[in-house]
Structure 1
Amino acid sequence: MPSTVRRAGAFAAVGTLAFAVPVATGLDSPALATVAATGPFALVALLAMTAVGQGTALFELFARPGDYEDGKLYGLAAFALAAAGLALLAVQFGLPVRVFVATVVLVSYGNLGQRLAHRVHSDEVVAAAGFVVVGFAAGVVAQLVAARIQGVAIDSAEALFLAGTGALVAALLRSVLFERDDPLVMLSVGLLLWLFFELDPTVGTQRVFIALGVSAVLGYVAYALDTASLPGMLTGVLLSLLTIVLGGYGWFAMLITFFGLGGLSSKFRYDEKLERGIAQEDEGARGSGNVLANSIVALVAVIAWVASPSHIAVEPGLFLYAFAGAVAAAMTDTFSSEFGGLYDNPRLITTLRRVEPGTDGGVTWQGVVAGLAGAAIIAGIAAATLETVGPVGAVVVVGCGLVGMTVDSLLGATVEGTVVGNQGVNMLATLAAALAGSGVALAVGLV
């Protein structure tokens, strides 16, 4: 068995110590419970730094490439300390025990799944799929076992949702970070799952299964069509899962339309765009930064939708229009740039003087028409799938797309490249559109 697989298996064994925490929570003494929960991981960290010397079998089993320089198991120590920190949050500060166990176990065994998948096929997408599948299964089992140890009931839909979200977030972070950054991955996943646990979204098992299935299909299609890089694909799959579970099918229909048509528009006449210097990098495949820049505002909106009005004293409908407005702006900007950039004689939006194609802030009337068509598509989907969005609401969504496109061009002509980059401009444009959607919807009495 390759050393990387053995090492991943050894780390998974250490991660299994997480099951000491649900046992510890049953102890009468809080101090004793804290020691019992954090002690195993703290002991592993101590041994990794002091007792396991270079050249020993244990050192060779756990050592990562960077550990050989000083002869210390820094990777194992950091991994164990991160788990100990989360264990402390679980016994003293309210982190749900099964969330803690699921986090440590899914990261540990997800890494093992990734290494095993990579052994079968060297493709990084196959390896990431191995992480997600094994991590998801391990996360579900971990929650069931933890609940059994504690003698508490568990919501199966919630367990599936948390495990799926955790596995995708961990795989995404692993795709853009190094293996030595696993402690950061573990802490990030644990805190994010804690947030979703506290939001307590009311969803059925059927919707979660559908969300998982649709997200998996989306990931495969993105991979097959090469419309996104690995991090971009994982980001899109994660956002799709969250949108279906937290928002609903109508919300997802808007998002997936943007992902699908936006990705295909980048491929449209790609060679010609390449000659004109306006083509997306990586042959049109969108990375995680691009996907997040266009979707982060929409993601915040759908999370806020779930959190209102129980956690946020705001009318939930405002976040619906914020979401639709942000997606419409992303679609408008993508269509206007991908199609409008194919035409000559663009004019700078601030001065109306002619500029070269691809100039930041340059617009063509064809691009404006294409952008408005993209906004109309999102508005039509919103009106068709969401009962609360009627004809007036659809017009508001189209207006949001126009706002986003205008803000994007204005920022491109003034501050892009000096104050903010392209991704920052995209995010600010979708934010402006989201605020416009919420504000107009409130002003005209749609919510």
Structure 2
Amino acid sequence: MFAALCTLSLAVPLFGPRPGAAVAGVVLLGAYVITDGPLFDLLAYPGDYNDSRLYGLITFVLAGVALGLMATAASMPIAVFIGTILLVGYGNLGEQLVRLRTDDAVARVATFCLAATGAAVVGQTVTHSVTANAAASALPVIVFLAASGALLAALLRDVLLRSDDPIVVLSVGLLLWLLAELEPAIGTGEIAVALAVTVAFGYASYALETASIAGMLTGVLLGLLTVVLGGYGWFAVLISFFAIGGLSTKFRYDRKEALGVAEDNNGARGSGNVLGNAAVALAAVLGYAASDAGFLPREPELFLFAFAGSIATAMSDTLSSEIGSVFETPRLITTLEPVDPGTDGGVTWQGELAGIVGAGVVAGITYGLFPEIGPLGAVVIVAAGIVGMTVDSLLGATLEGSLLGNQSVNFLATLSGALACALLVLSFAMLG
């Protein structure tokens, strides 16, 4: 039923915004007046029974109306609006059908993504066809938008409640609007390879228990955006952090458990941890694409250094904590007093050395893949990683636990590493 209701969004490209608004009005009226009976039971979210009102359906339709207004009154492509609505509706249908046969979480998530991607591709293609859009996106771009939206929707549905579908609709619609404006240039073979590579790495992280399902989805989405908007060199830098950082979590895991400093969930990192370490890198990728498309005045290469600085920080911080935590008693970075293992802001010389090596690994990979980095740029990336690692320890010793959580500290540390790298590059450019 929800999939059928989502299909009604095609009234906008087929007949225009006014008939589309009328259809939405009829659905809203019906959702308001139906308070019991079989139809109510069919459409009700669990919380709707408390008030005998289909608030879940009402808010879902209102979220669709909000996107529809953006598509008709703003510059959001109508194809993005249609693709988003169908994506959520049919993705949910596919997931529920699989749920009848298996409780396997990966199977349900995979089916949601496949059904959602297929529905979004069909919806965008039909919209371009019936509106005779001369600037219609090519099929590879349509697939890229559909797959990105499906991954984000699956991620949000994993960390939120099923009744939060309105949030999913708005979030997916805004992301796809942004990606459509960037007009990525990608071919059929390129999008096929990008999806295969990122999904393979994502599933490997889950199979090796270095990421939860939410962490896997986050990693695949970040990887796909990085490949398409940046390139495989950017992806190689990103995946080096996920691979080495994930394996470092397993380093002497029993010893970490005994000390009480081991990551929860057997070391599998969730979406919060992945985003805390990679959100700045994603922003740098988007900045690079926007700059390359002419939306930002800065040189695109500056965002490459910001990206490398943030990844160097994430790698340094992860290795310093995961490797340093199993050695001798750490000392608080602000006072150098001995503290218990796992204390926020506690450092060891072994951990600091591991962090420097981690920054060096990122700098080496970046230097090898991007000729524009140069030897001086590689040194700057190492320095930025050390700066970010130190900021992480300082924030841990002063603000973590009282004002900031662990993921916020990770975000601010990677941001400091990115800014340090970009500012150092600008400074050297002005001097030279």
Q: Distance in 2 between matches of 1:443 and 1:94?
A: 38
Q: Does 1:219 align with 2:210?
A: no
Quote the residue 1:178 is aligned against. 161
**2:313 aligned residue (307, 326, 329):** 329
Q: Does 1:16 align with 2:10?
A: no
Shift of 1:219: 2.1
Q: Distance in 2 between matches of 1:58 and 1:415?
A: 52
Work out the percentage of aligned pairs sharing the same amino acid: 53
Quote the residue 1:379 is aligned against. 363
Aligned in 2, Cα 1:315/1:415: closer, same or farther, shift over 3 Å? same
Quote the residue 1:191 is aligned against. 174
**2:41 aligned residue (57, 60, 83):** 60
Residue 7 of structure 2 aligns to which amino acid in structure 1? Answer: T
- The TM-score normalised by the length of structure 1 is 0.93
Q: Distance in 1 between matches of 2:280 and 2:331?
A: 29
* Number of equivalent positions: 428
Quote the residue 1:290 is aligned against. 273
1:350 aligns to what SS in structure 2?
Answer: coil
Q: Distance in 1 between matches of 2:5 and 2:149?
A: 19
Q: Distance in 2 between matches of 1:201 and 1:111?
A: 28
Q: Distance in 1 between matches of 2:348 and 2:367?
A: 29
Quote the residue 2:85 is aligned against. 104
**Contact 1:37–1:88 (CA under 8 A) maintained in structure 2:** no
Q: Does 1:426 align with 2:416?
A: no
Shift of 1:43: 1.1
Which runs of structure 2 are paired with 1:335-374 in the superposition (5 Å)? 335-374=319-358
Deviations 1:142-163 (A, max 9, x none): 1111111112343112101100
Shift of 1:133: 0.9
**1:305 aligned residue (288, 298, 305):** 288
Quote the residue 1:78 is aligned against. 59
Shift of 1:119: 2.1
Quote the residue 2:217 is aligned against. 234
Residue 85 of structure 1 aligns to which amino acid in structure 2? Answer: A
Quote the residue 1:89 is aligned against. 70
Deviations 1:135-194 (A, max 9, x none): 011111111111111123431121011001100011111111111111111011111111
Q: Distance in 2 between matches of 1:141 and 1:415?
A: 49
Q: Distance in 2 between matches of 1:361 and 1:231?
A: 27
Residue 118 of structure 1 aligns to which amino acid in structure 2? Answer: R
Shift of 1:207: 2.2
Q: Distance in 2 between matches of 1:304 and 1:205?
A: 24
Q: Which runs of 4+ in 1 moved over 6 A?
A: none
1:308 aligns to what SS in structure 2?
Answer: helix
Consecutive unaligned residues of structure 2, counting only runs of 5 or more, are: none
**Contact 1:38–1:88 (CA under 8 A) maintained in structure 2:** no
Q: Distance in 1 between matches of 2:148 and 2:128?
A: 19
Residue 411 of structure 2 aligns to which amino acid in structure 1? Answer: M
**Contact 1:42–1:81 (CA under 8 A) maintained in structure 2:** no
Q: Does 1:250 align with 2:233?
A: yes
Shift of 1:382: 0.6
**1:200 aligned residue (183, 195, 204):** 183
Residue 266 of structure 1 aligns to which amino acid in structure 2? Answer: T
Q: Does 1:408 align with 2:408?
A: no
Shift of 1:116: 1.7
Q: Distance in 2 between matches of 1:150 and 1:216?
A: 33
Shift of 1:37: 2.1
Q: Distance in 1 between matches of 2:373 and 2:189?
A: 25
Q: Distance in 2 between matches of 1:291 and 1:23?
A: 41
**Contact 1:38–1:85 (CA under 8 A) maintained in structure 2:** no
Deviations 1:190-244 (A, max 9, x none): 1111111112122333222221111211221122111111111111111001110
Shift of 1:281: 1.0
1:142 aligns to what SS in structure 2?
Answer: helix
